C-alpha cells in the first residue's frame, strides 16, 4: 500500500466531507429553485449543490497528496478527457459530490457524497456519507470497513445472503446493458419478489455492506459511482465483479455488466442463475 496517505487522513477527508455537506449541500436540500437545476442529458440532473460541493472539495483533496488530481463527476461532464486518468497509475481522487441527484431534486433522503482515493489503479481508501442520517461509511484497503454514526464506530460485515431467491432483496439496474445481458437480468429479476431500488449508489453500497441488501446489478461503471463502494463492500466481505468476465471491479472498468453481492457464495450462485436465465 502507498505511504502517501497516512491513516489519519481518513479522518481528515471525513471531516472535509461533513464540512462541504454542511456548507454546500444540506442548506439547499428541499430549497432548490428551478434555476438551481439543470439536465446534462435526459433525466440526468445536476444542481448548484453538486457543482459547488465539487469545486469546494477539489483543491482541498489535491493538496492532501502531492501530484494527485480529482476526477469529479461534474468536471468530467464538462471535460470528458479527464477520464483518461483511470488508464494510468497516477494517484487520483474520485468525487461524486451528490450521488443520487434525482432523489436530491425530488426532496428524497436517499442521496450521499462519495469519495475514493485511487493509486496504481486500485482503490486505497473510500468514504460514503449519508447527510440526512449523518452516517459516514469508510474503508481502507486491508483495514476493514466502518460505519461512524451517533458518536460510535462499528466495523461492518456484510454477512451471508440466503441462496433462496424468494428471500433475497435485490435491485436490478439494466440501463446501458446490451440486449443479451438486459434480457438475462430482467428474466432473473422476475423471479425475485423482493426488489428495492434506491437509485443511488451511495445507498446501494452502504446497504450491501451492512447486510441490509443482497444483490445489485450495474453496467455503467463510472469511477465516482463505484470506486468508493467497491472497496467498502470488499472490506465488509462482499463482492463486485463482472458477470461476463468474472473479474473483480477496478476503476478503469467503465462499462460492463456487474453484480454486487454480500458474499462470495451468493455472488457465484446468483451470477450463474443470471447467466442461465432464458
Q: Are residues 195 and 86 in the same domain?
A: no
Q: What is the mean pLDDT of residues 60-81?
A: 97
> Over pLDDT 90: what percentage of the chain?
94
pLDDT, tens only, 93-132: 999 999 999 999 999 999 999 999 999 999 999 999 999 9
Answer with the one of 126, 155, 184 that is the final residue of a domain.
Answer: 155
Would you say residue 203 lies in a domain? yes
pTM for the complete prediction?
0.96
Answer with the one of 127, 155, 183 that is the final residue of a domain.
Answer: 155
Q: Are residues 28 and 121 in the same domain?
A: yes
Q: Are residues 210 and 250 in the same domain?
A: yes
Would you say residue 162 lies in a domain? no
pLDDT, tens only, 20-35: 999 999 999 999 999 9
Provide the CATH number for the domain around residue 257: 3.40.190.80
Q: Are residues 101 and 220 in the same domain?
A: no
Would you say residue 72 lies in a domain? yes
Residue 219's pLDDT band (boundaries 50, 70, 90)?
A: very high
Q: Are residues 106 and 208 in the same domain?
A: no
**Residue 2: what pLDDT?**
42
Q: Are residues 190 and 144 in the same domain?
A: no
Would you say residue 147 lies in a domain? yes
Residue 193's pLDDT band (boundaries 50, 70, 90)?
A: very high
Q: Based on the structure, what is the number of domains in the chain?
A: 2
Q: Are residues 24 and 137 in the same domain?
A: yes
Q: Are residues 136 and 175 in the same domain?
A: no
Residue 48 and residue 28 in contact, taking contact as beta carbons nearer than 8 Å: yes
Domain coverage including residue 246: 169-276
**Residue 43: what pLDDT?**
79
> Over pLDDT 70: what percentage of the chain?
97
Q: Are residues 180 and 151 in the same domain?
A: no
- Sign of the dihedral through C-alpha 251, 88, 77, 141: positive
**Residue 5: what pLDDT?**
52
Would you say residue 127 lies in a domain? yes
Mean pLDDT taken over the chain: 95
Indicate whether 4 pLDDT > 60. no
Would you say residue 3 lies in a domain? no
Q: Are residues 94 and 228 in the same domain?
A: no
Amino acid at each position: 500500500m502507498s505511504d502517501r496517505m497516512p491513516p489519519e487522513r481518513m479522518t481528515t477527508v471525513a471531516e472535509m466531507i461533513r464540512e462541504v455537506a454542511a456548507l454546500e449541500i444540506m442548506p439547499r436540500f428541499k430549497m432548490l429553485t428551478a434555476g438551481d437545476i439543470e439536465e446534462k442529458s435526459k433525466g440526468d440532473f445536476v444542481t448548484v449543490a453538486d457543482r459547488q460541493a465539487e469545486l469546494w472539495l477539489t483543491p482541498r483533496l489535491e493538496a492532501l497528496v502531492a501530484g494527485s488530481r480529482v476526477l469529479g463527476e461534474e468536471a468530467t461532464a464538462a471535460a470528458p478527457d479527464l477520464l483518461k486518468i483511470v488508464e494510468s497509475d497516477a494517484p487520483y481522487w474520485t468525487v461524486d459530490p451528490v450521488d443520487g441527484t434525482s432523489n436530491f431534486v425530488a426532496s428524497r433522503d436517499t442521496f450521499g457524497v462519495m469519495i475514493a482515493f485511487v493509486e496504481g489503479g486500485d482503490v486505497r481508501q473510500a468514504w460514503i456519507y449519508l447527510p440526512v442520517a449523518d452516517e459516514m461509511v469508510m474503508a481502507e484497503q486491508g483495514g476493514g470497513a466502518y460505519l461512524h454514526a451517533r458518536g460510535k464506530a462499528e466495523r461492518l460485515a456484510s454477512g451471508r445472503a440466503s441462496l433462496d431467491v424468494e428471500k433475497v432483496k435485490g435491485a436490478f439496474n439494466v440501463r446501458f446493458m446490451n440486449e443479451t445481458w438486459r434480457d438475462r437480468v430482467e428474466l432473473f429479476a422476475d423471479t425475485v419478489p423482493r426488489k428495492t431500488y434506491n437509485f443511488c449508489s451511495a445507498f446501494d453500497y452502504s446497504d450491501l455492506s451492512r447486510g441490509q441488501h443482497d444483490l445489485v446489478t450495474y453496467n455503467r461503471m463510472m469511477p465516482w459511482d463505484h470506486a468508493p463502494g467497491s472497496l467498502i463492500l470488499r472490506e465488509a466481505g462482499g463482492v463486485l465483479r463482472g458477470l461476463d468476465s468474472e473479474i473483480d471491479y477496478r476503476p478503469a472498468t467503465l462499462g460492463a455488466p456487474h453484480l454486487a453481492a454480500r458474499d462470495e457464495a451468493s455472488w457465484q450462485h446468483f451470477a450463474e442463475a443470471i447467466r442461465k436465465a432464458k
